[in-house]
Structure 1
């Protein structure tokens, strides 16, 4: 009687555990669907009402119980550097960790009890139910198919999730590298400005000193941006690669276990079946733990996407999102923008001053070195894009713009036989043209980066990056983490039930074989006793 009861308890417990797991999975799925059914903007508006003084990212979404704070509600918002954030998110996965622990303990005790019954209370099997045999076989086939489907779902989900996360990381790194490269280009243009010399006219000393000062800050900001982003990418990519390898191994092992266990059960290799049951008992525990971990990851991905969207609507220079992609220091960006405007203004003034005082004047031969036989139509002045106060300046009629000045001035360049003296009509010697072209190219380069620096000052490049991620990458990340989570739940549940029916089917098969042998033996006995 003990053996029958233990087996009955064993089967009932397994079904109860499955029902509990499915119920929790449905509740989690419903919770996720409800959260994502609400638009990000609606959540932000609801959270913004109580968070006007400071920016707490994803405040409502991250309100979860924190087991390290006596199960009080965590109110710190999205912050991957805060241990309390992680413990509160981990608490959402606690049901799966509990199921894993309960399964490991109770199933282990059930196996031990069955083994004790088999060893200590051994008796010949009797009784055979065709319905029980057929039903156990049908359910075993069904759960094996479900396990295979779950493994395929898990493998597909992890592949798409890895590709999606890698694309997202690459995009962030490209944006950061693009910004850092532009900053270095600005630094190079400022360095070139220090070498501009138009007929011995150079930038004032105070401007040269300020260029040296701002160059150090620019290079430091560019280096910090590149290094921090690359470090974050390497750290996250290592985790993703290890995660992908673990999921591939789990999918392959569980697929192998389900298929081999089914075959061994069909062929009646009872010893190997019980060996696989023990192995599956441990693996199912591990997959339930992974279910919890991926539910945690799914929630973190959702929190991050909401946090990005809220930050875009209310950008701050310093938030928890600096751990992903930091803004360039606002003071440095502002100073760099002002310095590029000042240098551009000064360089254009140098060029225009040379044209006004030398190139467009007709000096007598005695006025060397100002005289170099300049003649012909007067050169158009270069339009200065800024006023003396560095405000925007509109070009006057007849002025040439920075983007086409060098082409316009080619026709005003003379040829010379004697170095330094024009032998054909023109207002510039080739040497003068080269010097002025260098000044214009530097000025135009600095002017061209003005909008970039203005966006940098407002941290617009980070805002644009996070907007693109939230719009283009977040839906895929959320979808594929859910695929993995659902795949793990399906695999765990299917293999868990397969373990149960390996044992049940093995028992029914053994009883069937014994009953057939017993019936065959007793059907032949009367014949042996008949008349000779």
Structure 2
């Protein structure tokens, strides 16, 4: 009989050792950082993002760096797209301050001025259209408020969902690395027990530490980014909801005070609504830039789908580096493929020269040159690498004191333990092989981005546009309302209509006939 301990056992051990030597190279290359990826993004890709805008931080020169959330000049340029809202808001604030100052000076001067004015030449109640117009504008303001609140809620929901998809992908990548680390740690322990060279053990240990650090860093960044992004989204949503709701209450109260002629409350509400109008213009600018940012992000995701290895996201997702490690992973596949074939050849030789009936080992990889991992294509009469110990168990010598067994057994107990440890380790590596392959090919990221691009990009842009359009409509209505009530209150004050009504007092008939109109004192 042919002894398994001199052929099959050594071959199986060789499989594990080769993978132990090659697999760390894959991990180290896949996880190695790059210092030059951001500089390698082509100008063509950058320009296709349509992010060429004025950058106020660069002396108002054009920003041409593409979509890059790590670049302050990108943020400066995209935030500056809402300059119309910011500028009008500041202008409203300044106009209000100037008008308020002039009005205060005028009132002070009028206290010492006893000049008289002519009575308004018609019945004030019959010619006043401000109340119906104010009610109409208030109705429009209510409609605009509903539009803003609905759009803001949907924008917040879509943005939060998209962020959760990205964070989930990061967690899956971290989990893949952790699984790989677990397999390598088990392999390292087995190699130490088998007295494999110290250099190999050190390489595995170094790679395991790198993987642990990378996994911890991904989890840390994912938690940090999730917290910061969710906090930012919640801040925008809550601030918008609270401000617009307060604005709605103030507008309704303003109209009610105007209709009921509550002069003091009307003055206070005009000032409050003026301040709210300034905020509405600023929020218009904010959501205008958020709509542009959403468009930039979606364009970048679309470019990533077309070419994951050279696009404006390469500074954040170095898929080209991960792709370079794919060749090393291919070497692992080729090595396992060749060695499993050798094991099966030895088994066939044994079956031809003895009565030993061992099942052949499943080769999980396809034939060269692709070496695709396809364990589902294994024949039904083969076993996995991880099941080899079960097949060898009946042929194992349980108590080999002097290293020899009787003729009924083929391998010693120590050899069986060694094969069991190695085959379990290599099976663990094969179990995480698909995940590692997806990680190296950026499949996790591509699938996540595809989901965001297909299901959430258009709604994000749609609802951001819906909010800024509603905010623009509301801000214009607010300006008209404030102007209307300001003119009305100024007019009433000028003609001393403190009781809310005007009844013209004409001079006696003789005075009218002589063309002289009685003057009243202000």
TM-score by length of 2: 0.71
SS at match of 1:73: strand
SS at match of 1:194: helix
Paired residues for 1:65-214 under 5 Å: 65-118=54-107, 120-121=109-110, 126=120, 127-130=122-125, 132-133=127-128, 135-196=129-190, 207-214=200-207
Partner of 1:330: 322
Alpha-carbon separation, structure 2, partners of 1:83 and 1:321: 17
Paired residues for 1:491-502 under 5 Å: 491-502=474-485
SS at match of 2:217: helix
Kept in 2, the 8 Å contact 1:359–1:427? The answer is no
Kept in 2, the 8 Å contact 1:58–1:78? The answer is no
Tell me, yes or no, if structure 1 residue 308 matches structure 2 residue 301: yes
Distance 1:248 1:360, change over 3 A: farther
The answer to which structure, 1 or 2, has the higher relative contact order (CA under 8 A, 6+ apart) is 2
Tell me, yes or no, if structure 1 residue 381 matches structure 2 residue 342: no
SS at match of 2:300: helix
Kept in 1, the 8 Å contact 2:330–2:371? The answer is no
Paired residues for 1:292-371 under 5 Å: 292-316=285-309, 319-320=312-313, 322-323=315-316, 330=322, 333-334=325-326, 337=329, 341=333
Structure 2's unaligned 5+ residue stretches are: 1-39, 509-522
Distance 1:109 1:305, change over 3 A: same
Tell me, yes or no, if structure 1 residue 275 matches structure 2 residue 268: yes
Alpha-carbon separation, structure 1, partners of 2:42 and 2:313: 16
Q: RMSD in angstroms over aligned alpha carbons?
A: 4.6
Alpha-carbon separation, structure 2, partners of 1:432 and 1:505: 100
Alpha-carbon separation, structure 2, partners of 1:165 and 1:500: 37
Tell me, yes or no, if structure 1 residue 402 matches structure 2 residue 397: no
Alpha-carbon separation, structure 1, partners of 2:167 and 2:273: 42
CA drift of 1:302 comes to 0.9
Alpha-carbon separation, structure 2, partners of 1:222 and 1:61: 34
Tell me, yes or no, if structure 1 residue 284 matches structure 2 residue 277: yes
Partner of 1:480: 463
SS at match of 2:456: helix
Alpha-carbon separation, structure 2, partners of 1:167 and 1:306: 18
Distance 1:252 1:108, change over 3 A: same
CA drift of 1:449 comes to 3.0
TM-score by length of 1: 0.70
How far does the alpha carbon of each residue in 1:317-373 deviate from its partner, in whole angstroms, 9 at most, with x for none? 7855644x66595289448736864885699699879979999997xxxxxxxxxxx
Kept in 2, the 8 Å contact 1:340–1:447? The answer is no
Kept in 1, the 8 Å contact 2:89–2:279? The answer is yes
Partner of 1:64: 53
CA drift of 1:316 comes to 3.1
Structure 1's unaligned 5+ residue stretches are: 1-50, 363-375, 523-532
CA drift of 1:502 comes to 2.4
How many residue pairs were aligned? 453
SS at match of 1:65: strand
